[in-house]
């Protein structure tokens, strides 16, 4: 039996992901909420505040609720037009359609086969979105009518297969509300939990993979010079860059460390690898190894400060080189200050530790 209090708790803490709908057996509703950011950017989540009691009655097969539903079905053989449901069909249909459209790279659309796919495939996704919302209990709609309505706008899609998808979504929603709508008599039948979780997981992974593809093929990264680089090129360049080589080497070192020391000390090693104090960077900026003595650090610091001091580059005519010298000088100063601060803190900690150990021995002897 579904509990009203539990439903509201799930609505409050996990309503944006449709947890309360999943709890009440409304899996389509749950997926729509999860995939549209809390039901069309939170609007559906807020509306559920006063709709949840009815959903609980439906989940519990409340006799009063079933009686009212049967009377309503007799009075209206075809479900009445619902503005909220119609708007949801249009929005979700358009979202699914535009998602499929942006999964097709623009440079591929310039080719004939890509152009054809960008016109034919998105309306099919529109029909799926409209059908998904239309089948939220206790109503159901025909996929054939959703598909027919979506493809009526085909001539407009040949002009602009992206922006004109909104017409495809509207016409699809109109078609299912005109001819393809009926009552769902079997919606209160229970289904196995494993099957429900499996279906939602597969649909969720498919949806996320489509978004990942859309981002991969369409997103760009802006460099400090203002140049826009496609994300897919930036990713490919990263995997051939020195940074990726360093990352792979770090993972290898962590794996070797795990084999030698086990899980217990791996966390500390990972933290050290992230260099939260900037110690590794400081050693690198000063050009010394991590086990360098204080004398070696000072020697390298003095040498680099002398080399990159701004006064030495005052006569430099190239402004970029002049700025680089200023930047390196600041980095060297900061690196030396970082190492000095870290070593001072460690010295104090060691002194305190030795003092505590000595006090403990004296207390034991007494």
Q: Are residues 315 and 257 in the same domain?
A: no
C-alpha span between 250 and 264 (Å, rounded)? 18
Instruction: Tell whether 340 is covered by a domain.
Output: yes
On the question of pLDDT at 261 being above 50, the answer is yes
- pLDDT value of position 366: 45
Q: Are residues 53 and 24 in the same domain?
A: yes
On the question of pLDDT at 59 being above 60, the answer is yes
pLDDT digits 0-9 by tens, 163-216: 788 999 999 999 999 988 999 877 666 778 899 999 999 999 999 999 999 998
Backbone angles phi, psi at 228, to 5 degrees: -95, 125
Q: Are residues 303 and 360 in the same domain?
A: yes
Q: Which residue, of 27, 48, 75, is where some domain finishes?
A: 75
Instruction: Tell whether 336 is covered by a domain.
Output: yes
C-alpha span between 276 and 171 (Å, rounded)? 56
**Is 85 or 314 the better-scoring residue by pLDDT?**
85
Q: Are residues 285 and 257 in the same domain?
A: no
Count the domains in the chain.
Answer: 3
Share of the chain above pLDDT 70, in %: 89
Instruction: Tell whether 360 is covered by a domain.
Output: yes
Q: Which domain holds residue 259?
A: 241-274
Q: Are residues 327 and 254 in the same domain?
A: no
Instruction: Tell whether 321 is covered by a domain.
Output: yes
Instruction: Tell whether 182 is covered by a domain.
Output: no
Task: Give the CA-trace dihedral at 128, 129, 133, 137, to 10 degrees.
Answer: 30
Both tokens of 307, joined, read: 């080399």
Task: Give the CA-trace dihedral at 120, 126, 129, 132, to 10 degrees.
Answer: -70
Q: Which residue, of 42, 75, 108, is where some domain finishes?
A: 75
Instruction: Tell whether 334 is covered by a domain.
Output: yes
Instruction: Tell whether 293 is covered by a domain.
Output: yes
The pTM (predicted TM-score) of the whole model is 0.68
Q: Which residue, of 227, 255, 274, is where some domain finishes?
A: 274
Instruction: Tell whether 145 is covered by a domain.
Output: no
């Amino acid at each position: 039996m579904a509990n009203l209090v539990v439903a509201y708790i799930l609505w409050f803490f996990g309503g944006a992901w449709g947890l309360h709908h999943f709890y009440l057996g409304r899996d389509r509703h749950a997926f729509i909420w999860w995939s549209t950011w809390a039901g069309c950017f939170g609007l559906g989540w807020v509306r559920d505040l006063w709709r949840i009691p009815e959903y609980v009655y439906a989940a519990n097969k409340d006799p009063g609720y079933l009686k009212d539903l049967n009377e309503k079905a007799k009075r209206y053989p075809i479900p009445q037009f619902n503005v909220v449901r119609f708007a949801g069909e249009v929005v979700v249909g358009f979202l699914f359609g535009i998602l499929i459209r942006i999964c097709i790279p623009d440079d591929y659309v310039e080719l004939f086969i890509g152009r054809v796919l960008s016109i034919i495939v998105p309306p099919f996704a529109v029909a799926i979105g409209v059908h998904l919302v239309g089948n939220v209990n206790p109503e159901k709609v025909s996929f054939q009518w959703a598909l027919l309505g979506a493809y009526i706008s085909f001539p407009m899609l040949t002009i602009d297969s992206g922006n004109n998808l909104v017409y495809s979504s509207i016409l699809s929603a109109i078609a299912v509300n005109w001819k393809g709508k009926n009552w769902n008599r079997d919606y209160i039948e229970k289904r196995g939990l494993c099957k429900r979780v499996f279906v939602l997981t597969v649909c969720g992974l498919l949806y996320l993979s489509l978004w990942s593809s859309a981002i991969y093929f369409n997103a760009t990264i802006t460099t400090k010079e203002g140049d826009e680089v496609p994300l897919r090129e930036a990713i490919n360049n990263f995997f051939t860059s020195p940074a990726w080589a360093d990352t792979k080497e770090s993972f290898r070192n962590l794996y070797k460390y795990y084999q030698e020391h086990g899980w217990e000390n791996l966390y500390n090693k990972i933290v050290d690898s992230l260099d939260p104090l900037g110690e590794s960077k400081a050693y690198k900026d000063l050009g010394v190894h991590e086990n360098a003595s204080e004398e070696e650090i000072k020697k390298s610091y003095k040498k680099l400060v002398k080399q990159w001091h701004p006064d030495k580059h005052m006569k430099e005519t190239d402004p970029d080189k002049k700025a680089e010298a200023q930047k390196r000088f600041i980095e060297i100063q900061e690196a030396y200050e970082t190492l000095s601060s870290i070593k001072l803190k460690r010295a104090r900690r060691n002194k305190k530790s030795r003092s505590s150990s000595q006090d403990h021995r004296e207390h034991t002897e007494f």
